[in-house]
Amino acid sequence: MDVIDRNNVTVTGRSDGPTLLLAHGFGCDQNLWRLVLPTLAERFRVVLFDYVGSGRADPAAWDPERYSSLDGYAEDVLEVCAELDLTDAVFVGHSVSAMVGVLAAAREPERFGKLVMLAPSPRYIDDPADGYVGGFTAEDIDELLASLDSNYLGWSAAMAPVIMGNPERPELGQELTNSFCATDPAMAAVFARTTFLSDTRAELASVTVPTLVLDCTTDVIAPPEVGAFVHAAVPGSRLVTLPATGHCPQLSAPEATAEQIVAFAGAPR
Amino acid sequence: MSSTGGKDVDEAESAQFAGLLEDSLEDLYDNAPCGYLSTLMDGRIAKVNATLLEWLGYSAEQLVGRRRFADLLTVGGKLYHETHFAPLLSMQHHVSGIALELKGADGRRLPVLVTSTVKTGTQGQPVLIRTTLFDARDRRTYENELLRARQEAEAAGIEAEQARRTAEAERARLQQVVSILRTSLLPPDLPRVPGLQAAAYYHPASVDEIGGDFYDLFPLGGGRWGFFLGDVCGKGPKAAAVTSLVRYTLRAAFLVDPDPERALATLDAAVRERYTGPDATYCTAIAGTVTRDGEAHTVTLASGGHPPALLLRADRTAHFLTTSGGQLVGALADPRFVRATTVLGPGETLLLYTDGLTEARTKAGPRYSEENLRTFAASLAPVGAHALIDALTDLLERFGDGLEDDTALLALGMSSHPDMG
C-alpha cells in the first residue's frame, strides 16, 4: 500500500524551506491546520497527513490491533517520514499527537530536528498514586465513548467511497454537512480509547531535541497543570501559554499559534 | 351595503387578531419551545433564554459572563465538544443536530440536540455563536433502544456463527467416523484370484450416513473362492452393525460348508437369533463360490431376495442369471433360497450389484431399471471385470443426485487369455 495514499499525505509550502510535519490529534484530521497553514507555508515546506482511521486515510488500511496502541500511530508517522525521506524535520503534534511524536522520535531520532507539542497530554486520567492531575476519571472516558456512539458526524455508508477517493461520485462529499472530520464511529472509538487511556509520562524524559510546549489559558482537555508537567519533564523545553481558549488553539487563536511555531521552528538550533 | 359590511368584518377581525399577534420578540425568545444560547467566541455565555434556564435550574446571573457553554455539559460531552464540535464549528461556521447531555444545577442530565451557527461581523470576522437546544429525552430513549437492538443483533450474529462452526466441526467429525466405519466393513483390497479378474466399487449416497451395502471375495482353499454381495435393510449405525454380522457370518459359514444355499440359511438363523421382536431386520444377498475348471470357471450361487446377477457373454450378449423366488434373509420363519450355476468362459464376466444402481433416478425421470442395465452391459460385452466396473462407475457419476441409495458392485471375469488373469 502506498503510504502517500494510505495516509492522505499532502505536501505544500516552500519546497526549499525547512520541513514541518503537522500531525492532528483525536477528533478530526489535517483540516484542523487550515487556519495556520497559509502563514506556515510562506516559510516552510509543510507535510500534512491523516492517521489511518481518521479523515480521508484509506479505511482499508485499518487494523484495530495496530491502532489500539499509540505505537501504531507512531508507525504511521515514521512510515510517512520514510516515504518522503525526511530528516531533521520539525514535528508539530496536537494533543495526543504530541506524544505520538515523542514515541516516533525515540525510535528514529535522525528524522526529527525539533518538537512542537501543542496542547499535549501524556495522561488524561488523574493518577491518585502520585497526585498527577490529568483532568479526567476513567468513567469520564466511558461517557465520551457513549457520546461517540450517539454522534455520527457526517459518517454514513455513502461517505465511505468519498473517503476512499472515489472520483466518479464527487457529489457524495457535497451532500453531507459536518463532512470535515468524517470518521467511521468504530475506528473513532478505538482511537478515543487508545488516546484517553494512554499513559506516556515516562517517555517524556527521552526527548533529546529542542522542544516547545504550547498550552492554552483555558483548556478542559489539557488543563494548565498538564502543560506544566510536560514542560518540567522534557529536558530543556520551553513553555509558552497561548492567549487561547479551548483545546484547539490552531483554530481559536491561529495567528498567535502560527507565530510561535514560526519563531521556534525557524530559529537556528 | 355588502362592501360596508365586509369592511366592518375586516376591522373586527383585525382587532381580534391584534390581541393574538406574536409581536413580542422578547416573549418569542424567552418562551420558545427550545433553549436559546448566545456565546462569545471564547465560549463565555452572553445571553440565554428562560426556557433553557428553567431546564437547567440556573438564573441568568449565574451563567451570563461567568460560565462557558462547555461548562454546562457532562464530562464526556465536554470532551466531545472540544474534539469534534468546536473544531467543526470553527471550520464550517455551522454544526447541526449533535447529541449532547446538559448537566443541570441539581446534577440532573438532560439529553439535547444542539445546533450552532457563527454570526459574523461586517468584515466577515466571527463575532458570536448562536445555539439552539432541543429536548431530546424521548429521542434518546428511542435511540438507546435502537442501539440496544443492534448490539443484541450483533451478539446473536456472533452466537449463530459460533453455533454454525461447532456444527460444521461436528459434521466433519461424523463424516470421518462414517468414512472409517464404511472402510472397515468392506475388504480393503480384493484378493488376487489366479485366472480371474475381480473388481469392485462402492458408491456412498451420503457422506453423513453409512448405508448397508456389502460385498466380499475370499479364498476357501483347494482353488475355490467364496464371494457375496448384498444389501441390509435401512441405513445408519444399526445397518452398519448388521452388515458386520452378515460379513463375518457368511465368511465363517463358507469355511465350514461351501454350499451357498446353506451359507444363506446359516446367515438367516444368525440374523433372526440376534435381531428379534421390534429389533428385527433383514437383508438381501447373493452368495456363491467360483472354482477353476480347466479353461473355465464354474460359478455356483444362491440368492435371498436379491436382484439377479448379470452375465456378460463372449458373444456380445448379456442376460440375467435367474434366481427369482429367493426370499429375504432374516425376515421369515423358513425362507427359501434359489440356487443357480453357470460357467464363465474366456472373455466372460459375472456382475453382482445392489438396487441403488437399478433404482437410480435418471435425468429423464424414470428409474434406471434392470433392463437398461442389461442393454448397457450388452453394449460393452465382451468386457473384463475392471473395464466393466470403470464403465459403471462413470454411469453412477452421471446419475448425480439421482443416485438415492448406496450402491455396491462386484465383477468376476475370465480374461480372453486365461493365463493373463
- In tens, the pLDDT along B106-160 reads 989 899 999 999 999 999 888 999 999 999 888 878 877 887 888 899 899 999 9
**Residue A170 forms part of a structural domain:** no
Residue B91 in contact with partner chain A when CB distance is under 8 A: yes
Furthest CA-CA distance within chain A: 56
Work out the mean pLDDT of chain B and round it to a whole number.
89
Evaluate if residue A231 carries a pLDDT over 50.
yes
What are B309-325's pLDDT values in tens digits? 999 999 999 999 999 99
| Higher-scoring residue by pLDDT: A146, B210 | B210
Residue A148 in contact with partner chain B when CB distance is under 8 A: yes
DSSP B2-22: HHHHHHHHHHHHHHHHHHH--
| Percent over 90 (pLDDT), chain B | 61
Element (H, E) at A42: helix A37-43
Q: Which contacts (CB < 8 Å, 24+ apart) does range B5-10 have?
A: none
Are B140 and A150 inside 8 Å of each other by CB? yes
Q: Rounded to whole angstroms, how far apart are CA atoms B82 and B234?
A: 74
Please report which confidence band the pLDDT of residue B419 belongs to, taking 50, 70 and 90 as the band edges: very low
ipTM: 0.79
Work out the mean pLDDT of chain A and round it to a whole number.
87
Mean of the pLDDT values across residues B264-271?
96
Q: How many helices (H) and strands (E) does chain A have?
A: 11, 7
Q: Which of A147, A226, A245, A251 to mutate to test the interface with B (most CBs of B within 10 A)?
A: A147
**Residue A42 is placed in which grid cell?**
510562506
Q: Which of A31, A118, A126, A150 to mutate to test the interface with B (most CBs of B within 10 A)?
A: A150
* pLDDT of A1: 64
| Higher-scoring residue by pLDDT: B234, B140 | B234
Q: Could you give the count of Cα atoms lying within 13 Å of B277 in the half-sphere of its Cβ?
A: 0
Residue A176 in contact with partner chain B when CB distance is under 8 A: no
Which of A219, A231, A237, A252 does the annotation list as catalytic? A219
* pLDDT of A158: 41
**Among the listed ranges A223-232, B134-143, B167-176, which one has the minimum average pLDDT value?**
B134-143
Are A136 and B75 inside 8 Å of each other by CB? yes
- Give how many domains chain A has, as a whole number: 1
Residue A160 in contact with partner chain B when CB distance is under 8 A: no
Are B79 and A149 inside 8 Å of each other by CB? no
What are A75-97's pLDDT values in tens digits? 999 999 999 999 999 999 999 99
Mean of the pLDDT values across residues A243-247?
89
Are A251 and B86 inside 8 Å of each other by CB? yes
Are B82 and A246 inside 8 Å of each other by CB? yes
- Shortest distance, CA A149 to any CA of chain B (angstroms): 9
* pLDDT of B114: 92
Question: CB neighbours (10 Å) of residue A58?
Answer: 18
- Shortest distance, CA A269 to any CA of chain B (angstroms): 33
Q: Which residue of B has its CA nearest to A189?
A: B80
**Residue A247 forms part of a structural domain:** yes
Beta bridge partners of B128: B40, B119
Residue A39 in contact with partner chain B when CB distance is under 8 A: no
* pLDDT of A100: 97
| Edge-to-edge strand ranges of the sheet holding B407-413 | B197-203, B407-413, B349-353, B309-312, B318-321
Is A95 among the catalytic positions?
yes
Mean of the pLDDT values across residues B22-44?
90
Residue B151 in contact with partner chain A when CB distance is under 8 A: no
Element (H, E) at B152: helix B137-185
Residue A223 in contact with partner chain B when CB distance is under 8 A: no
Please report which confidence band the pLDDT of residue B68 belongs to, taking 50, 70 and 90 as the band edges: very high
Pairing of strands A238-245, A211-218: parallel
Evaluate if residue A156 carries a pLDDT over 70.
no
Q: Rounded to whole angstroms, how far apart are CA atoms A226 and A133?
A: 7
Are the C-beta atoms of residues B264 and B288 closer than 8 Å to each other? no
Residue A255 in contact with partner chain B when CB distance is under 8 A: no
Residue B79 in contact with partner chain A when CB distance is under 8 A: yes
Q: Which residue of B has its CA nearest to A142?
A: B76
Is A76 among the catalytic positions?
no
**Residue A80 forms part of a structural domain:** yes
What are A15-73's pLDDT values in tens digits? 999 999 999 998 888 988 989 999 999 999 999 999 999 888 998 999 999 999 999 99
Q: Which residue of B has its CA nearest to A247?
A: B82
Please report which confidence band the pLDDT of residue A269 belongs to, taking 50, 70 and 90 as the band edges: low
- Shortest distance, CA A110 to any CA of chain B (angstroms): 31
Residue A262 in contact with partner chain B when CB distance is under 8 A: no
Are B84 and A28 inside 8 Å of each other by CB? yes
What torsion, rounded to 10 degrees, do the Cα atoms B64, B68, B69, B72 define?
-90
* pLDDT of A152: 56
**Residue A17 forms part of a structural domain:** yes
Are A148 and B70 inside 8 Å of each other by CB? no
Question: CB neighbours (10 Å) of residue A73?
Answer: 27
Tell me which chain B residues have a C-beta less than 8 angstroms from the C-beta of A216. Answer: none
Q: Which residue of B has its CA nearest to A141?
A: B76
- Shortest distance, CA A239 to any CA of chain B (angstroms): 22
Tell me which chain A residues have a C-beta less than 8 angstroms from the C-beta of B143. Answer: 150
Comparing CB atoms, the residue among B82, B84, B94 nearest residue A153 is B84
Furthest CA-CA distance within chain B: 141
Which of A95, A97, A121, A252 does the annotation list as catalytic? A95
Are B80 and A151 inside 8 Å of each other by CB? yes
Measure the CA angle with vertex B134, ends B132 and B138; round to 5°: 165
Q: Rounded to whole angstroms, how far apart are CA atoms B392 and B377?
A: 9
* pLDDT of B415: 76
Cβ within 8 Å of residue B367, ≥6 positions away: B358, B359, B360, B361
**Which of these, B373, B375, B374, lies nearest to B395 by C-alpha position?**
B373
CATH of the domain at A222: 3.40.50.1820
**Residue A85 forms part of a structural domain:** yes
Evaluate if residue B418 carries a pLDDT over 80.
no
- Shortest distance, CA A151 to any CA of chain B (angstroms): 6
Tell me which chain B residues have a C-beta less than 8 angstroms from the C-beta of A196. Answer: 79
**Among the listed ranges A198-207, A253-262, B392-401, which one has the minimum average pLDDT value?**
B392-401
Q: Rounded to whole angstroms, how far apart are CA atoms B4 and B14?
A: 15
**Residue A187 forms part of a structural domain:** no
Residue A166 in contact with partner chain B when CB distance is under 8 A: no
In terms of residue numbers, what domain contains A115? 3-123+199-266
* pLDDT of B208: 84
**Residue B205 is placed in which grid cell?**
449416497
Q: Which of A220, A226, A242, A250 to mutate to test the interface with B (most CBs of B within 10 A)?
A: A220
* pLDDT of B420: 42
* pLDDT of A142: 80
**Residue A9 is placed in which grid cell?**
499525505
Are B91 and A180 inside 8 Å of each other by CB? yes
Q: Which residue of A has its CA nearest to B71?
A: A220
Residue type, B209: E
Question: CB neighbours (10 Å) of residue B266?
Answer: 18
* pLDDT of A48: 97
**Residue A139 forms part of a structural domain:** no
**Residue A184 forms part of a structural domain:** no
Is A219 among the catalytic positions?
yes
* pLDDT of B65: 93
